[in-house]
Amino acid sequence: MSREILIFDTTLRDGEQSPGCSMDFNEKMEMADMLDSMGVDIIEAGFPAASEGDFKSVESVASRAKNAIVAGLCRAVEGDIRAVADAVKPAKRGRIHTFISTSPLHRKYKLQKTEDEVLDLIKYSVGLSRQLCDDVEWSAEDATRTEDDYLCKSVETAIASGATTVNIPDTVGYSTPEDYYRMIDMLKNRVPNIDKAVISTHCHNDLGLAVANSIAGVRAGAGQIECTVNGIGERAGNASVEEIVMAFKTRSDVYPFTTNIISEKLFPASQLLSSITGVNVQPNKAIVGANAFAHESGIHQDGILKNVMTYEIMTPESVGQSESNLVLGKHSGRNAFRARLKSLGIELADNALNDAFHKFKALADEKKTITDEDLKKLAS
């Protein structure tokens, strides 16, 4: 039996905090519509207390979202909490997402508060949020560097105060899959009221482990993953939605989890975000990179032409990329060369083909990639 995992997208909040990725009002609306139509369960639309512009965009996403729950983020401060409650009011389903740091480092230096004072703030902020909204998420900022006992106490307090989702962020991207599994598993086993809330993951990618950590959290019992399109977010970014969705789809044999995401929209969503922000993903980015379904080596190209399964574990169409791309370069072989000519409407007899192929190899030594124009010249 597979378990359905909620996708909480924070492209418009955490993602927007990445350098170079800020979006104006219209761009946010365009992105929000895409997220809503691709099947995201919860859209975190911004931080309403941050600015008037942020308030407005959360409010507008709340009024236009057809399917998704719309969330806004706030500190454990009355003004912040009320701002989110007001901003998400037009939503069919709104969520207040409030957070406070729980780690000793943050308690001492950032908050300058004792353990008990932080527990009181959890009670207060979650309690107030719950009076204003039925759907309340509470986050333990820097959870992965918090003492086990104190984290358990904090989570128990948040749930007792009315939190319906408890988020366990790896704020600084320090966790490993083993650490993160152990932490979620511990909460499952030690917090007495844990069954009354959904456990959520929020992993940063400082060590390139955000997706692996999120999946480890889900295996241990988490029911929601926080992630972003293209993995954008603070510093090295967040877990990337496209990698999570396709890991579950492609390896359902070992990951018995499903999501509501329409995977064919992953590439269009990635393209839309890149065009809005002007920040492209690296060509070798999994799932949505320009080279994710490109093959240059002759051996691979020959295999692909005979049966795509030889070198592809999923189809480009399943993520919304148009088709496998056989890149013609110096590693390419005769079969790919012939296939490309054929697709250009050029069919050569064996001798002429040999001749053209030799010219192609010589040209490929000079140029990195060979264009269709180059090929037409070679064949004529």
Measured CA to CA, the distance from residue 287 to residue 231 in angstroms comes to 12
What is the smallest separation between the CB atom of 170 and Zn ion, expressed in angstroms? 9
Scan residues 273-292 and list those touching Zn ion (CB under 5 A).
none
What is the smallest separation between the CB atom of 220 and Zn ion, expressed in angstroms? 20
What is the smallest separation between the CB atom of 17 and Zn ion, expressed in angstroms? 8
Closer to Zn ion by Cβ: residue 27 or 226: 226
The yes or no reply on residue 54 touching Zn ion (CB under 5 A) is: no
Measured CA to CA, the distance from residue 101 to residue 141 in angstroms comes to 4
Size, binding site for Zn ion by CB under 5 A: 1
Scan residues 11-50 and list those touching Zn ion (CB under 5 A).
14
For residues 242 to 261, the per-residue mask of contacts with Zn ion, x marking binding by CB under 5 A and - elsewhere, is: --------------------
- Token representation of residue 370: 């060979």
Contact (Cβ atoms closer than 8 angstroms) between residue 370 and residue 329: yes
- Token representation of residue 334: 């005769």
Measured CA to CA, the distance from residue 281 to residue 130 in angstroms comes to 39
Closer to Zn ion by Cβ: residue 166 or 319: 166
Residue 354 CB partners (closer than 8 Å, separation 6+) = none
What is the smallest separation between the CB atom of 200 and Zn ion, expressed in angstroms? 12
Measured CA to CA, the distance from residue 364 to residue 328 in angstroms comes to 8
Contact (Cβ atoms closer than 8 angstroms) between residue 15 and residue 40: no
Closer to Zn ion by Cβ: residue 14 or 27: 14
Judged by CB under 5 A, which stretch of 10-18, 120-128, 147-155, 172-180 contacts Zn ion? 10-18
Measured CA to CA, the distance from residue 68 to residue 41 in angstroms comes to 5
Closer to Zn ion by Cβ: residue 203 or 379: 203
Closer to Zn ion by Cβ: residue 94 or 169: 169
Judged by CB under 5 A, which stretch of 8-16, 61-69, 135-143, 323-331 contacts Zn ion? 8-16
Closer to Zn ion by Cβ: residue 236 or 308: 236
Core vs surface per residue 305-330: b (16+ CB within 10 A) or e: beebeebbeeebeebbbeebebbbbb
- Pairing, β 198-203 against β 224-227: parallel
Chain residues in the site for Zn ion (CB under 5 A): 14
